[in-house]
Amino acid sequence: MKSNLLSNIYNPADLRLLTEAQLSKVAQELRDFIIDVVSVKEGHLGSSLGVIELTIALHYVFNTPDDLLVWDVGHQAYGHKILTERREVFHTNRQLEGISGFPKRSESIYDTFGVGHSSTSISAALGMAIASKLKGDFNKQHIAVIGDASIASGMAFEGLNHAGVTDANLLVILNDNAIGIDPSVGALKKYLTAVKNGKNPKQNNIIKSLNFDYSGPIDGHDLPALIKELNRLKKIKGPKFLHIVTTKGKGLQQAEENQVKYHAPGKFDASTGEVYAKSEENLPPKYQDVFGLTILDLAKKNEKIIGITPAMPSGSSLKFMMDEIPERAFDVGIAEQHAVTLAAGMVTQGMTVYCNIYSTFLQRAYDQVIHDVALQNLPVIFCLDRAGLVGEDGATHHGLFDIAYLRAIPNLIIYAPLNEIDLQNILYTAQLGLNHPIAIRYPRGRGVIPNWEVENFGHYKKIEIGTANCLKEGTKTAVLSTGTIGNNVIEAINESHNSETIAHYDFPSIKPLDINTLTTILSSFERIITVEDGTINGGFGSAILEFAASHNFKNTIEVLGIPDTFIEHGTVNQLQQLCKIDVKSLINLFSNDTK
């Protein structure tokens, strides 16, 4: 690393010792450092490259960590982390026992608020500003940095609406690059585009109407201009709003030209920017693609099918349908609550709606699932991508709670397919007509059947919901699994020396449970083991325990899953090992058959 200035910057106090003229060199070195590390270690690239100048200017002008800086989502905070005492450990980013990919309060005093989901920064920073005022500190600065995709979310508007009637010392910086993970959508994006193009009258300013001191738009890559404007705003009391225009991926040509791909590109050549090609030959498909290609196929045959995603067309693979049938596939922006109730409204008019939301993000729309969907028994089809352990994104993104938080809701079916074929068949079954809403949960990553399209595509089978499947008979121990974690069970049983003693039952239907099969199992086996990739508390195993207790069964029931703690970041396999639901741990457990 040919770094002169950056290598001597341990924290922002060191940065402030430099002259303003030296900061452009720091920016180049910081960009190079991020590109060098992320090209090898992987991570979120484009977002951080786009805010290099802003990051430097913020820490140069404001007295962090005494002044409080909140990054929305946190994809863009790599430069912040490197300048705040974590340069030497940045190579551990997103790795097991390394630093988090997102700002995290327990990691650094410079990380003022834990983030990972969008649109929280304005509310958090406003809370800090009000608290500072109540404590008599009128000089502390409070800054929220939020992107144009995140500011379109309802929660961001709630924060702006409240801030505008306070005299809180709050600065909201809009990092406007016209893209989140996918390109931003909606009327607000069109408004911001008009502002940037000088086509919006000054008196027609949304932010000014909310009582903010608005300035901008200014070039977010012009360090002198940023520093000058931040110094000016620092002296102004009350709510302030700075609109800056940036380019996501700035400084790496490929990342600028292909911003979706380079949001998190995987490993790439640091000098050329070329992403290393991965052979996908003979690999099983990604579950998201099974969903995306299947719903497109179904939608071509059923004109009532509609797809909805909150800002994740690429991640969910709804983009296949958006490209071919755009009038029936909707990206509503980062607005999970709206997505759920929009789906409910469409269903009241006889449409068949697949609402695809990552498991961790459906948490943001819990009331809508209960009040707007389940209470009215509207058969919305929720497709919960990224259910279970997701890997390097860590605690903010694991989809571990959906079984527990959905199982409590009346009228709601919960289904977890074992593999790609099962996923296709439940997607097909759901559009034939259900009497209740359904949540279909499936994981991030690849399945287990390389030739899935040849085997099943277009040849769907109707599933009888509420039915379990005996995958293998046994004599002593019954293993009950739900969802794709059952493939770990299959492999572990095959490799166990006492496999003949172990029976395996797949319970794709978590609610309703197959009571008849469950009764037979509890009557036939003394030792029962349940396996799931969700939280143990309130999950699938809890449902089995509840049934056994209420029907006075006395079996020994061991519940495997995610313990009552937040799981950090690492590879999925590493995290499964921590939770003892990986193949090796299951082999050891099955071998310990004491009955």
Question: Could you tell me which residues are annotated as the binding site for Mg(2+)?
Answer: 148, 177
What does residue 481 show for φ and ψ, rounded to 5 degrees?
-125, 160
What does residue 8 show for φ and ψ, rounded to 5 degrees?
-100, 5
Q: How far apart are CA 78 and CA 422, in angstroms?
A: 39
**12-38 as b/e: b if 16+ CB within 10 A:** beebeebeeeebeebbebbbbbbbebb
383 strand-pairing partners? 356, 440
Helices (H), 379-485: 402-407, 420-431, 452-456
Structure tokens at 432: 């034939």
C-alpha distances in Å from residue 123, one per residue of 22, 106, 159, 212 = 35, 20, 5, 15
Helix (H, G, I), strand (E, B) or coil at 75: coil
Q: Which residues are annotated as a binding site for thiamine diphosphate?
A: 75, 116-118, 149-150, 177, 336
* Of residues 400, 385, 325, the one with CA closest to residue 355: 385
Q: How far apart are CA 395 and CA 421, in angstroms?
A: 29
Q: How far is CA 135 from the centre of its chain?
A: 35
Structure tokens at 366: 């819990």
Give the active site residues: 248, 336, 364
Q: Environment class of residue 538 by beta-carbon count within 10 Å: exposed (0-12), middle (13-18) or buried (19+)?
A: middle
Contact call for residues 220 and 244 (beta carbons, < 8 A): yes
Strand runs labelled E in 389-506: 413-415, 438-441, 469-472, 477-481, 502-506
Q: How far apart are CA 287 and CA 106, in angstroms?
A: 34
Q: How far apart are CA 423 and CA 66, in angstroms?
A: 51
Helices (H), 42-99: 46-50, 52-61, 78-81
